Structure 1
């Protein structure tokens, strides 16, 4: 097992990259959906999606905060461009999350 796998787990299930329209549709129609913003607090201060929670992927406590989340819920993950949120989805998938959606193009594509 590599150091990466021991820290982040192995992604047995993948996530889906989705466009803004589908992202919003899932958010509206899925009762257990959680919108997860993985940007920095400075970025969030400039505006965020209503109802989203923020867990900064660059934070030292990112893994500990992710591990507190309910793995059975649906997560709609976003960042500025879709790159960090894709990384977050990979990490979450490796830690047992199975309902993961990454906002392609990030919040700038909304």
Structure 2
């Protein structure tokens, strides 16, 4: 009756590491690491692009990405990437996925 009182569901998907890995295999997705550059340098998922979500130019930098492609986002634990995923969906990205647990729960090797 009062649907307007219900909180809106996130327009992005929260995926387990297994779902995230499977999605990356199946789609030609943009893989976005939203951690700080020093964290990225310490090890990241293969093929990831690093754009720090806490950077003042985050919105400008992600605006250069293709909004029609699937965008898979991750950070250290999943908190910053959830923030980034929300910002991406508000900016018009159609298919956004967030890695639950971040790289802390990622079972595959990271690259440097």
Do the two structures share a fold, i.e. TM-score over 0.5? yes
TM-score by length of 2: 0.84
Q: Take 1:22 and 1:102, find their aligned partners in 2: how far apart are those partners?
A: 10
Secondary structure of 2:56's aligned partner: coil
Aligned to 2:11: 14
Of the three residues 54, 57, 62, the one matched with 2:53 is 57
Task: List per-residue Cα deviations over 1:45-96 (Å, max 9, x = no partner).
Answer: 1100000100001112111001111110001100000000000010010011
- RMSD of aligned residue pairs (Cα, Å): 1.5
Displacement of 1:106 in angstroms is 0.6
Unaligned runs of 5+ in 2: 1-7, 107-112
Displacement of 1:12 in angstroms is 9.2
Q: Which has the higher contact order (CA 8 A, sep 6+)?
A: 1
Moved over 3 A (4+): none
User: Counting helix residues as a fraction of each chain, which structure ranks higher?
Assistant: 1
Unaligned runs of 5+ in 1: 1-10
Greater C-alpha Rg: 2
The number of equivalent residue pairs is 99
Aligned to 1:83: 79
